[in-house]
Amino acid sequence: MVVGIIDYGAGNIFSVEQALRDLGAVPEIVSGLTNLNDKDALVLPGVGAFRFAMESLSAAHLDEGLREWVRLGRPLLGICLGMQLLFDSSEEGEGVAGLGLLHGSVRRFPRESTPTVPHMGWNMVHFKKGSRLGTEDKYFYFAHSYFCNPESDEIVAGVTYHGVSFPSIVEVPGRRLFGVQFHPEKSGPDGLELLKAFLREASYQC
């Protein structure tokens, strides 16, 4: 399976590439529309700022490419900032629209009720019943200051607590659109198991 890794200049490409290769996939870097549609699945990784990421995706016309990809029902996984970019907007980049593939906004952790901002390190993910990415609660590695606030709880497939409860996994029922707020590529064997589950979902109908 050929998995495209979207490169919008924010780094963190190598660790995702290596994790996918360890699982037997063939990772290929995608930086424009010309090498997008021959992939079996896409990963939208994330390190950096919401505004910069969206401006970079737009400059390469990858924003429209990703919207069309999802419209066609093809598999996509957003990681950390990549998950946040799936939503309509973010407090981190006010005035800049996200991809709008999921409805809702991205909010900054409230300092008055959050132990530390950014939220960095290992934390528990509580999988909801029916999640296609996992069943047993496990620890994954987080590094973020913002969290997603979906309009509908229907897409929330995993929850984590850090001063507030926030969605750490989103899945669209009946579609192959996923997002994780943590970094599975930096989360050891459990992270690889989650990526394997995504590849398994991505293989359907490919």
Tell whether the torsion through CA atoms of 140, 121, 30 and 175 is positive or negative. positive
- CATH classification (class only), 2-203: alpha beta
13-22 and 188-203 are packed helices; what angle lies between their axes, rounded to 10 degrees? 70
Catalytic member of 80, 92, 119, 144 = 80
185 labelled catalytic: yes
Of 119, 144, 162, 183, catalytic: 183
- Per the annotation, the verdict on 103 as an active-site residue is no
Who contacts 71 (Cβ-Cβ below 8 Å, separation ≥6)? Answer: none
Task: Check residue 206 and give its pLDDT.
Answer: 42
- How confident is the model at residue 112, as a pLDDT? 86
**Side-chain-side CA neighbours of residue 108 (13 Å):** 12
- Provide the whole-model pTM: 0.96
3 - beta bridge partners?
27, 41
At residue 93, the pLDDT reads: 83
Cβ-based burial of 72 (10 A; exposed 0-12, middle 13-18, buried ≥19):
exposed
pLDDT in tens, the chain (206 residues): 999 999 988 767 999 999 999 999 999 999 888 878 899 999 999 888 999 999 999 999 999 999 999 999 999 999 999 999 999 999 998 889 999 999 999 999 998 888 899 999 999 999 999 999 999 999 999 999 999 999 999 999 999 999 999 999 999 999 999 999 999 999 999 999 999 999 999 997 54
Yes or no: say if 51 and 13 are a contact pair by the CB < 8 Å rule.
no
Which residues in the chain belong to E strands, given as ranges? 2-6, 26-30, 41-44, 76-79, 89-90, 104-108, 119-127, 138-144, 146-150, 156-162, 164-171, 177-180
The reported pLDDT for the residue numbered 205 is 55
Q: What is the pLDDT of residue 109?
A: 95
Distance of alpha carbon 172 from alpha carbon 161, whole angstroms: 22
DSSP 8-state secondary structure symbol assigned to residue 138: E
What pLDDT is attached to residue 11? Answer: 65
pLDDT at site 9: 82
